[in-house]
Amino acid sequence: MERKHDKVWSSCLSVIKDNISPNSFNTWFAPIKPLKLVNQVLTIQVPSQFFYEWLEEHYIDLLKKTIKKELGPDGRLEYSIIMDNSYNTRSKPITVHAPTLNKKALKNPPVSMPLDINQGGGKAIPNPFVIPGLKKLNIHPQLIDSYNFDNFIQGDCNRLARSAGLAVGQNPGKTSFNPLLVYSANGLGKTHLAHAIGIEVKNHFPEKTVLYVSSEQFTNQFIDSVRNNNQNDFIHFYQMIDVLIVDDIHCLAGKEKTQDVFFHIFNHLHQNGKQIIITSDMPPVEIKGIEPRLLSRFKWGLSADLQPPDFETRMAILQKKIYNDGVEMPQNVVELIASTISTNIREMEGALISILAQSSMNKKEITPELAAKVIEKFVKNTPREITVEYIQKVVCEYFDIPLEKIHTKTRKREIVQARQLAMFFSKNYTKSSLAAIGSKCGNKDHATVLHACKTVKNLADTDKNFKKYVDELENMIKVRL
């Protein structure tokens, strides 16, 4: 019996075969194997990274149209790429997963540089992104293709910003979110979201000119234009952009002339229905050193914040990265990373990469102990106090139990076990009295806490699986010391 994904891919091949030469079909499509079809996403296996990039560069339009014809408007394609495993000491091949990116669309169309009427009509406006002396009219959007919406995990912490960003990406300059200001502390994904919006625009509107630029890059270009006496050219260049993304706008604080130039660029773009996206480390009301007239314009559209992700979202982010990188990691190590590094996604991903690198270079198995040593470098060295509440949180997250359940009177085995473990570790790692521990674990008395500690110790001595729970939880709790 033909499987559904085989049938869909067979239908796709029939269409593709009619649109390309037999030689191209045999070279680029015959070696592809369909793997699965889940939620309208067809996964195909390709032999190499080069193969994937060639398909994305030359056949993406044909592939997208064919997939949507077979699966409907929500149909998507994902690649499974077989690669050498540099992380696995057994040197087994790995599979890297990549969404279709439409890389061809991530290139801006050639821009016809108008003549500067203020310079007598005889001089073309220079591109500030090109080294003087090199002629090139294309404006590179400066977008990182992996910073897309597929890789931006949604949670309660970022739902508004992500939804607004997606709306802007699908209808730039036409929503009330103009400008869209995304703000958060460092490492929570505002740069990723800014790139994702730009990529979404390019996927839907390849003809639009999109540009991502950091505030530092913008400032340096302006300084060069002053030095070369061509400020008007600089302004005219930016006025040609359809979607302007400026990262870390707070870095313009105190730079009055740069702010003045950006003010004029902002006004021109906004008045002409162009989309502006800006990011900041803080909300507009807290940005100091920015002129009031410019600051007021930041408030015209939507200001959306990104909060630190909850445990579930952090787990999803790590699992997505592991999936995309085609590596394997024990679930308890992933949980250790997610439970220890909670306020910075960039640090969390950095810890993941470092653990993989340590395992590969030192030919060591990835264990909670190895992970804990690496994670120490990503968290503050100052010891943090271990509390009964912290232990309860670690235990409940480990067993995937709602925290409030541990305070109830239920006698369900898994809840009782989690409560006893919380009592056991609270006695060993906090200065709280037995009575205080009991009161925080469902209003139990000190005798119940003593009984729980004895039960945990006996089970750890006689039950290998239970001993594993105790050891892994202890490692997770000790990371805080």
The model's pLDDT over 57-112, given as tens digits with 9 standing for 90+, comes to: 788 888 888 988 888 888 888 888 776 544 444 445 556 565 666 666 667 776 65
Distance CA 17, CA 10 (A): 10
Q: What is the mean pLDDT of residues 34-51?
A: 85
Q: Which pTM was predicted?
A: 0.63
**pLDDT at residue 139, as a whole number:** 76
The tokens 């190499």 sit on which residue? 48
For the stretch 455-471, pLDDT in tens is 999 998 998 888 988 98
387 Cβ contact list (under 8 Å, min separation 6): 430
14/123: higher pLDDT? 14
Domains contained in the chain, CATH given? 4-106 (3.30.300.180), 117-305 (3.40.50.300), 311-375 (1.10.8.60), 388-478 (1.10.1750.10)
Hey, what amino acid is at 235? I
CB within 8 Å of 74: residues ≥ 6 apart: 40
d(CA 462, CA 466): 8
Locate 224 and state its tokens: 């060069």
* Contact between 41 and 9 (Cβ < 8 Å): no
What average pLDDT does this structure show over 276-280?
95
What is the mean pLDDT of the segment spanning 393-412?
Answer: 87
- How far CA 294 is from CA of 190, 263, 275, in Å, comes to 21, 6, 16
Q: Concatenate the DSSP letters of all residues of 133-185 into one string.
A: T-----------TTSSGGGS---TTTHHHHHHHHHHHHSTTSSS--SEEEE-S
